[in-house]
Structure 1
Amino acid sequence: MLKRNSTLVAHLNHIVELAGVVALEYHRRSLEVEFKEDESPVTQADKAVEMRIRSYLEKHFPDDRILGEEFGLTDEVRGDDGHIWCIDPIDGTRSFLSGHPLFGFLLARLLNGVPEIGVVGMPKLSETIIGCKDVGTTFNGKQIFTSNQTSLDQAILYINEGEKLLSEQPAVLASLTKIGQTRRFAYDCYPHALLAMGHVDIVIDYDLQPYDYLPIVPVVEAAGGVVTDWRGNSLTMASGGTAIVSAATIELHSRVLKELRN
């Protein structure tokens, strides 16, 4: 368990520090950009961060496998069995490319396909959020909790990937813009971290891959919140590409799911 494993906590904090050091060497500098089949960008920064973290994990956790956004999964034959580390080296490459400070680093450790530990690192903000299933979530070492908001009308709602929603789910987007007391459009992992801190009550996210959402699950749930796909299903390695909803409370999560189903 995280609270009782100071060695593991030290590793996680050091990994976030390493990822940040590498990422910041490239931030707000001229970069070569490639585009994948799904038109998402990738730079030498993404690759450099992932390679650095892979090297660290291979040295300190030699029995674990690694899934990274840029270099895939080691030993796919074994399926989801055992411990797997999941890396998103730069969550928000488009933000990173435009000089925006709210790009993140994401890391999860899974056991048999289920996320048990999640990490959100924000290099420009010097913030590290670590969540451990059944233990708790910390912000720079201090325990944090989601809000106790249960009223949809009073909720602070963040909508990620609004551009994609407008193009592919316009009815859903139209519905979402009518709920909550305060609404903000955003991208990437930081809104989910803000939810774990108690500042945001709901985050709607769309078109995510496992390395995007698996680290979010322990961070939000260990802080007291709920994270599922839009149908209310738990998120695992087997969920594939998906849309997710994070909520501060069970009651709020249930009310948001009803809106998404309408």
Structure 2
Amino acid sequence: MTGYDDDLRLAHVLADQADSLTMQRFKALDLKVETKPDLTPVSDADKATEELLRTTLSRSRPRDAVLGEEYGDTPGNSGSSRRRWVIDPIDGTKNYVRGVPVWATLIALMEGPAPVVGVVSAPALGRRWWASQSGGAYSGRSLSSATRLAVSKVKALEDASFAYSSVISWEEDGKLDDFLTLSRACWRTRAYGDFWSHMMVAEGCVDLAAEPEVSLWDMAAVAIIVTEAGGRFTSTDGDPSPAAGSACTSNGLLHDALLAHLGD
């Protein structure tokens, strides 16, 4: 038991609601897709899912603030709450709209700058991961049917599996040479992408993962799941905040080596 058990249970309820809606619209012939100002796609499922979760939170946690990818920041009824729910209704929208099953709803609760609850739910993969502060990280179908997560014990890059999302993103960030040098130093590299790379780090089947450009809603849930699994989360310059704008996750043993290659 932790101080966040009720919040974790609510996060699972939110994930169940999201899974039902996103799976209903996945591969729908009438799925509507628009382009946002940042030139990334957004579907009617993204918007509807965030609206649904916001409605549930407004009833269940009216004092808490909410930040979502599609509808921005909304203060809670208290106006000064340090608690904020952070939602990415569909992480991996480009996969979602093309019928690729690698996408997830990301739900986190933050107190101040730190996430204290996180759920990543990927219904098309049949997978869910979650964690709460000091409560450990788990994967399974439900709270009552779960397996404790633990990161790997690989100590050397030449034995490590490195996951990422996009080669082009590292080129656009001016770090393509650093990325390639790290890739060559590792035993194996694969572009699993988005949330999945980091959840594999938490599971121990991948040893390190990195992305050069991310938002808070991409990483709030990811950060606490990886750290509660025994791993480490920072930006490329070593900042442990999920709001720092980039992401490096590892089993902890390889983190300094990861930052030495990709750090600013």
If the length of structure 1 is used for normalisation, what is the TM-score? 0.91
Q: Which shifted more, 149-158 or 171-180?
A: 171-180
Structure 1 contact 23–49 (Cα < 8 Å) conserved: yes
Question: Does structure 2 conserve the Cα–Cα contact (< 8 Å) formed by 1:161 and 1:186?
Answer: no
2: distance between equivalents of 1:174 and 1:104? 28
Q: Which moved more, 1:52-61 or 1:82-91?
A: 52-61
Match of 2:143 in 1: none
Could you tell me how far 1:128 is from its partner in structure 2?
Answer: 1.6
Query: Counterpart in 2 of 1:159?
Result: 164
Change (3 A) 1:16 1:232: same
RMSD over aligned CA atoms reads: 2.1
Q: Out of 179, 197, 200, which is 1:191 matched to?
A: 197
Is the contact between residue 12 and residue 119 of structure 2 (CA under 8 Å) also seen in structure 1? Answer: no
**What's the TM-score, normalizing by structure 2?**
0.91
User: 1: distance between equivalents of 2:182 and 2:105?
Assistant: 28
Aligned amino acid, residue 26 of structure 1: R
Hey, what's the Cα distance between the residues in 1 that align with 2:59 and 2:236?
38
SS class of match (2:158): coil
CA shift for structure 1 position 189: 0.3
**Pair 1:88 & 2:91 matched:** no
Counterpart secondary structure, 1:186: coil
The Cα offsets for residues 88-121 of structure 1, whole Å up to 9 and x where unpaired, read as 0000000001100110110110001211111110
Shift, 1:134, TM fit:
2.2
Output one character per residue of 1:148-197: Cα deviation in whole Å (capped at 9) or x when no partner: 12211101110222222234332222223212111102321011111111
Report the 3-state secondary structure (helix = DSSP H, G, I; strand = E; otherwise coil) of the residue aligned with 2:184: coil
Cα distance in structure 1, aligned partners of 2:157 and 2:118: 27
Report if the CA contact (8 A) 2:102-2:196 is conserved. yes
Count of matched residue pairs: 257
Change (3 A) 1:5 1:233: closer
Gaps of 5+ in 1: none
User: Any conservation in 2 of the 1:133–1:221 contact (CA below 8 Å)?
Assistant: no
Identity of aligned residues (%): 26
Give unmatched runs, 5+ long, in structure 2: 141-145
Give the match's secondary structure for 1:90. Answer: strand
Measure how far apart 1:80 and its partner are: 8.3
| Amino acid corresponding to residue 159 of structure 1 in structure 2 | Y
Deviating more after overlay: 95-104 vs 252-261? 252-261
Looking at structure 2, the residues matched to 64 and 34 of structure 1 have their Cα atoms a distance apart, in angstroms, of: 30
Tell me whether 1:260 sits opposite 2:262 in the alignment.
Answer: yes
